[in-house]
Structure 1
Amino acid sequence: MQFGYSEVCLAHDPGPRHPETPDRLRAIRERLKRKHGVEYVDADPCDVERITAVHGSAYVESLEEFCADGGGNWDPDTTAVEETWDAVRHSAGLACWAVEAALEGNDGRKTPFSLGRPPGHHAVADDAMGFCFVNNAAVAAQHALDSEAYGVDRVAIVDWDVHHGNGIQDIFYDRDDVFFASLHEQGLYPGTGAVDETGTGDGEGATMNVPMPAGTDDLEYLAAVEGPIAAGIESFDPDLLLVSAGFDAHRHDPISRIRLSTEAYALMTDRLRGLADETDAALAFVLEGGYGLDVLADSVALVHETFDGREPIEPGGELADQAEEALEAVLDAHELNLSLEF
């Protein structure tokens, strides 16, 4: 894969006790040293005009001023330092690079993956929250839609971070040009993402939330991707498929109670790559969460290996009753007549 990376993103340091640490990127880079075919690309910082295409101008000005004044606690979870503003712009710029590279034909072993931080999927249109200041995936999706050179009319975003991607949902909730699917742990921060949150107005049906019960494992996440999420993407027929790739649903991540193995990320990558091929959509990845350094690094490396020819190992077993009920609720909310036989 081609990985977008900038040293500037390391300068955002919310402190030694904060889980969203610069060591996240250092761990990923160290792990990828063992892999062949890894390429790194830097990118220009994101123009403010691209950021304000999805965020309110007053909020963006306040954030820039907050950082210029030395930062501090924006809220109890979300901490900035003076360097955060530059890191935010570079993180969003790397996400824009990823969609540009994908739309220009980079696929297969050159599929782009933006390793930016701070992450973005919790940032709503007019506020920061949940470690996130600017919504990288939303900025990148809007950039793809606004760029006449690429002819993009529809973007699909799949967020497999263990937390609901409330910010992406907030920004695109009433629009029909972005399909957003969030696969997350039920009841976890920020408490949004119920199955009946399906969009409003022109966007009715273009938001798909798949909240899964604690204890869900590989087979059940794979059923979500192959079932309702795949059906939603195929029906939407996007020009670009963007993966908001958090790795905190891993069973060894300290934040969540979902029980994914590292292999689950290879399996989901394989299925989403297939969906992109089926719908003739460009495919790009943007880093979100993941706070166990070893499993974060191993999981990103396995996504890379999937594009480098490694075949994922299929899970066995049967769907747990609670997980099957959760998926049936999603199918009902979107009036999808699918079988969940696995």
Structure 2
Amino acid sequence: MTMAIKTGIVRDDRFLAHNTGQIHPEHPTRLKSVYKMLDAEFAHGLIRIEPQLAPLEYLEYVHTPMYIEKVLKTANHQFTSLAPDTPASENTWHAASLAVGGCISGLDALVNKTCKVCFSLVRPPGHHALADRAAGFCVFNNLGITARYAAQRHHINRILIIDWDIHHGNGLQEMFYDSSAVLYFSTHDTRLYPYSGDWAETGTGNGQGYTVNVPIPRNLTDADFFHLYRILLADMIAHYRPELIFVAAGFDAHRLDPIGRSALTEYAFSGLMHLILDLKKASGDPPVLMALEGGYHPKALTECVRAVLTVLTTKQNQSVHIPETSQRVDTIVKKTRTIHAPYRIWTH
């Protein structure tokens, strides 16, 4: 059962100035469509949080000075490239720095109790960005930097990152692979870029067991997806007891997405939002920061964001439909638990 949640929103037209070219999937139209919907349907009820440009010292929490300088120099070119799949323009530096700052502003609003959930609707996305290079349309690792900021500035030591983008967040994984300060949980299609995130990738050193990769088949239904999260996420939140929950909110698993090749609808994501709100209540009620990642069909992306925000802002009790289990989901759950049982971090 959920009630209306005090919800913050980070948006800024300066994100639209990151020019990727007319045919690139990560196009400003994605965000234009979402912002138009916000103006029409959520003009009231959301707390507007203004993003600030991220200082260089924050970018250096995860990125090398040489790489930061490389991104900064793109401001000197009308159009260039940071990676084969990641174009940049004269405004990319500004937008990318603002995307990081938008997530940090959202986190500060959560810590200050301005809101309980914050959705940072930013671009470029971040979960593929590595310490020393751009990748997968991502320039800076927005949530990775924000997680380090949370530890450095707010002394938060247990962060759960839920990555439901259909592409594996290899950048996020790499940044926290040897750390117990972040429990990284990703569901994804390993047959898609970046072709990583196998079951056996579970962390190293102090981070052993703190990376949970769950490869999923392309024909999972909304009910399957919900059931998978209902079981695994319940265990993670109950046993890890995060002080903060991040969501790498990519919506490219939608059936209309031109890249994702999956079968989900917007109802899968509204179900997950219900689920997160319900589960966190029983475990200290940590705040939730969501950051936009993938989603390359503007209409489908807009429907997904609408579905999530409707769950957060509806002022009445709602029940979550719990689907029947399926054999394939039970098999995935059993395999995940078997792999992670020796670590005893979230399986008890």
Q: Give the aligned length.
A: 332
The CA distance in 2 between the partners of 1:229 and 1:189, in whole Å, is 24
Q: How far did 1:158 drift? A: 0.5
| Alignment partner, residue 174 of structure 1 | 178
| Alignment partner, residue 297 of structure 2 | 292
Q: 1:240 to 1:254 in 2, by over 3 A?
A: same
The CA distance in 2 between the partners of 1:279 and 1:99, in whole Å, is 19
The CA distance in 2 between the partners of 1:174 and 1:331, in whole Å, is 20
Question: Which runs of 5 or more residues in structure 1 are unaligned?
Answer: 338-342
The CA distance in 2 between the partners of 1:66 and 1:12, in whole Å, is 11
Contact 1:55–1:126 (CA<8 Å) still a contact in 2? yes
The CA distance in 1 between the partners of 2:62 and 2:28, in whole Å, is 26
The CA distance in 2 between the partners of 1:229 and 1:193, in whole Å, is 18
Q: 1:174 to 1:20 in 2, by over 3 A?
A: same
> Which structure 1 residue ranges, 4+ long, deviate > 6 Å from structure 2?
none
Contact 2:227–2:322 (CA<8 Å) still a contact in 1? no
Contact 1:306–1:312 (CA<8 Å) still a contact in 2? no
Matched position secondary structure for 1:72: strand
| Alignment partner, residue 136 of structure 2 | 130
Q: Percent of aligned positions with the same letter in both sequences?
A: 33
| Alignment partner, residue 3 of structure 2 | none
Residue among 79, 82, 85 paired with 1:77:
85
Matched position secondary structure for 2:95: helix
1:261 aligns with 2:268: no
Q: How far did 1:222 drift? A: 1.3
Contact 2:104–2:146 (CA<8 Å) still a contact in 1? yes
Matched position secondary structure for 2:131: coil
Q: How far did 1:60 drift? A: 1.1
Residue among 51, 62, 81 paired with 2:70:
62
Q: CA RMSD in A?
A: 1.8
| Alignment partner, residue 331 of structure 2 | 325
Structure-2-length-normalised TM-score: 0.90
| Alignment partner, residue 205 of structure 1 | 209
What is the correspondence of 1:42-61 to structure 2 with a 5 Å cutoff?
Answer: 42-61=50-69
Q: 1:242 to 1:285 in 2, by over 3 A?
A: same
1:120 aligns with 2:126: yes
Matched position secondary structure for 1:279: coil
Q: How far did 1:107 drift? A: 4.0
Matched position secondary structure for 1:156: strand
- 1:230-270 CA-to-partner distances (Å, cap 9, x unmatched) read 31232221111011101111111111122111111111011
Q: 1:209 to 1:106 in 2, by over 3 A?
A: farther
Residue among 19, 28, 39 paired with 2:25:
19
What is the correspondence of 1:272-287 to structure 2 with a 5 Å cutoff?
Answer: 272-280=276-284, 281-287=286-292
Matched position secondary structure for 2:296: coil
The CA distance in 2 between the partners of 1:15 and 1:313, in whole Å, is 41
Q: How far did 1:74 drift? A: 2.3
Question: Which runs of 5 or more residues in structure 2 are unaligned?
Answer: 1-6
| Alignment partner, residue 41 of structure 2 | 34
Structure-1-length-normalised TM-score: 0.92
- 1:203-229 CA-to-partner distances (Å, cap 9, x unmatched) read 001111111011111122112211223
What is the correspondence of 1:206-225 to structure 2 with a 5 Å cutoff?
Answer: 206-225=210-229
Q: 1:327 to 1:71 in 2, by over 3 A?
A: farther
Letter in structure 2 aligned against 1:217: T
What is the correspondence of 1:211-250 to structure 2 with a 5 Å cutoff?
Answer: 211-250=215-254
